[in-house]
């Protein structure tokens, strides 16, 4: 037996004798012996250390989560403070502008649109027109709701010339209508361009359409007119949007912008103003065609 083993055996024997003596003393002093504390082996120690480390890790995780939550709340509050500051600055600027004189901004017209308007003639809601082939002037109502223009005619007679359809007619005018007197009973002849179908309460019927040279201020155009009796209306001529397309715009606040044309046997244009008095501006009996 080695020396170390002898020492270990001696210590063990001494510990055993001492423990026995103490136990005997304790037994003689008290009748209730406490339960012995189990020895702490290496496995139990390791388990306890692992539990302690797990509790520490869990506590650290909770503290980290709380820290991140507080950081997010602080960031949100900082953003809200910045937004409130921006609104306050805008409010200060608005309050400052309230004390200043309002700035007048002049709208700039589009040059392209302005040039398009300059290329068109401005017409009033009623105008004087001239019919050079007939030799008279007449009052005309401008109606953008009507498609085709219309001329008051009577005794419309169809006939054929050189294999084409023609019509002859007279102007249908009332005593209040202003025209050159020499043409009142004059026959007018013109080829039929087409016919239009008219739907009314009394039934359907067609009207001939003729093309006549017409002047209105600086405008000189071939215009298609439907022929029908307009003596029950206030104007012997109605000008529709087919005529105005691309050449004219309407200012409904004005009447007779352009001078009345002059024809042999007719009154001078500077006397037209007296013939314009008394026009029924409402013209409620008019219908679009």
What tens digit of pLDDT does each residue of 123-175 get? Answer: 999 999 999 999 999 999 999 888 899 999 999 999 999 999 999 999 999 99
pLDDT at residue 237, as a whole number: 96
Q: Is residue 202 part of a domain?
A: yes
Q: Which of 36, 11, 13, 12 is nearest to 23 (CA)?
A: 36
Of 23-37, 220-234, 274-288, the range with the highest mean pLDDT is 220-234
Q: Is residue 11 part of a domain?
A: no
CATH of residue 243's domain is 2.40.70.10
Instruction: Give strand pairing partners of 189.
Output: 168
Q: Is residue 127 part of a domain?
A: yes
Q: Is residue 26 part of a domain?
A: no
Which residues in 224-241 are b (16+ Cβ under 10 Å) and which e?
A: bbbbbebeebbbbbbbbb
Q: Is residue 37 part of a domain?
A: no
pTM score: 0.58
**Contact in structure between 212 and 193 (CB atoms under 8 Å):** no
Question: What stretches of 149-202 adopt beta strand conformation (E)?
Answer: 149-161, 164-171, 188-200
Q: Is residue 49 part of a domain?
A: no
The whole-angstrom separation of Cα 146 and Cα 67 is 79
Q: What's the DSSP call for residue 10?
A: H
More confidently predicted of 32 and 38: 38
Helices marked H in 99-135: 111-118
The number of folded domains in the chain is 1
Q: Is residue 27 part of a domain?
A: no
Q: Is residue 28 part of a domain?
A: no
The whole-angstrom separation of Cα 106 and Cα 26 is 114
- Structural domain including 161 reads 121-276
Longest pairwise C-alpha distance within the chain: 166
């Amino acid at each position: 037996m080695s020396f170390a083993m002898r020492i270990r055996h001696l210590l063990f024997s001494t510990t055993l004798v001492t423990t026995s003596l103490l136990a005997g003393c304790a037994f003689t002093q008290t009748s209730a012996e406490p339960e012995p504390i189990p020895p702490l082996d290496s496995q139990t120690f390791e388990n306890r250390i692992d539990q302690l480390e797990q509790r520490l890790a869990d506590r650290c995780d909770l503290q980290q989560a709380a820290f991140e939550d507080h950081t997010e709340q602080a960031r949100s509050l900082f953003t809200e403070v910045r937004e409130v500051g921006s609104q306050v600055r805008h409010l200060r600027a608005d309050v400052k502008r309230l004390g200043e004189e309002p700035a007048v901004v002049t709208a700039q017209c589009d040059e392209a649109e302005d040039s398009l308007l300059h290329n068109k003639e401005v017409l009033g809601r009623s105008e004087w027109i001239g019919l050079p082939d007939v030799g008279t002037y007449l009052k005309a109502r401008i109606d953008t709701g009507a498609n085709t223009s219309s001329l008051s005619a009577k005794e419309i007679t169809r006939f054929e010339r050189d294999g084409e359809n023609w019509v002859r007619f007279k102007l249908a005018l009332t005593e209040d209508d202003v025209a050159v007197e020499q043409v009142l009973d004059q026959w007018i002849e013109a080829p039929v361009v087409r016919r239009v179908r008219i739907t009314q309460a009394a039934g359907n019927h067609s009207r001939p359409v003729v093309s006549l040279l017409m002047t209105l201020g600086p405008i000189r155009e071939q215009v298609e007119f439907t022929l029908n009796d307009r003596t029950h209306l206030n104007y012997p001529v109605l000008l529709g949007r087919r005529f105005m397309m691309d050449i004219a715009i309407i200012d409904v606040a004005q009447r007779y912008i352009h001078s009345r044309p002059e024809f042999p046997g007719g009154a001078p244009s500077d006397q037209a103003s007296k013939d314009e008095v008394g026009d029924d501006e409402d013209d409620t009996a008019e219908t679009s065609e």
